[in-house]
Chains A and B, each alone.
Chain A
Amino acid sequence: DAGVIQSPRHEVTEMGQEVTLRCKPISGHDYLFWYRQTMMRGLELLIYFNNNVPIDDSGMPEDRFSAKMPNASFSTLKIQPSEPRDSAVYFCASRGSRAGNSEAFFGQGTRLTVV
């Protein structure tokens, strides 16, 4: 497996624009996580899914953020409208729930800059 794949790797956008981040989890993993990393707040869990269903979105900062998982192999995190304070690195991670595949793996992240 190629691991967790995120796109784009870098995104620069103007304030007010919509931003969509994409994630492909490892095949066979039924949990998917979105994290945000900043210097001030470290690694924050935004939302996670189990079997494509959102389980806990209490970390989503506000209504401008939304996440979907339409199928087992794809998830998006959308910010609309974007603001400069959303600038951060966004990570996606996945893991399985069976013995032997429950180790979590992270994608390479998307570095978002909102100007």
Chain B
Amino acid sequence: GIQVEQSPPDLILQEGANSTLRCNFSDSVNNLQWFHQNPWGQLINLFYIPSGTKQNGRLSATTVATERYSLLYISSSQTTDSGVYFCAVRDDKIIFGKGTRLHILP
């Protein structure tokens, strides 16, 4: 089956810093989503991005489907950005990576 690898597994940053999270996948997929799991456990949709680049405020994402990777950029990070960021790819079912745990220090 499709393998999804995320890096880094853990990231600790000072408030205001920028970060780049990476997602590699092993095969062609129909779609890709980024989620944020907040400290209360909710999975929040960030981006639905099979290819190209999208931006939403301080967050942006780029997927290069032909090279099988996606990047999530967080700029000017805030403490509320803390949590786990998941990449999920899809052919029919949705397959998750193990996530990147982000800690933003005040």
A residues neighboring B (CB under 8 Å)? 33, 42-43, 45, 48, 50, 55-56, 89, 91, 93, 95, 102-106, 108-109, 111
Contacts and interface: CB of A to CB of B under 8 A. Distances in A.
Given A89-B41, A104-B88, A106-B35, 15 more contacts: A33-B93, A33-B94, A42-B96, A48-B93, A50-B92, A55-B92, A91-B43, A93-B94, A102-B31, A103-B48, A106-B43, A108-B41, A108-B42, A109-B43, A111-B41
A42 B92 contact: no
A17 to B, nearest CB: 23
A105 B41 contact: no
B69 to A, nearest CB: 20
Interface string B79-103: 0000000101010111110110000
Contacts of B92: 48, 50, 55
A102 B48 CA distance: 9
A60 B49 CA distance: 29
Given A89-B41, A108-B42, A42 B94 contact: no
Interface residues of B, number: 18
Mostly, the B contact residues are strand
A6 to B, nearest CB: 11
B26 interface: no
B45 A105 contact: yes
Mostly, the A contact residues are strand
A33 B94 CA distance: 8
Given A45-B95, A56-B93, A93-B94, A104 B33 contact: yes
Contacts of B96: 42-43
9 shortest interchain CB distances as A-B pairs: A106-B43, A103-B48, A43-B96, A42-B98, A48-B93, A104-B94, A45-B93, A108-B42, A109-B41
Interface in B4-41: 31, 33, 35, 41
Contacts of B93: 33, 45, 48, 55-56
A113 B96 CA distance: 24
B90 A104 contact: yes
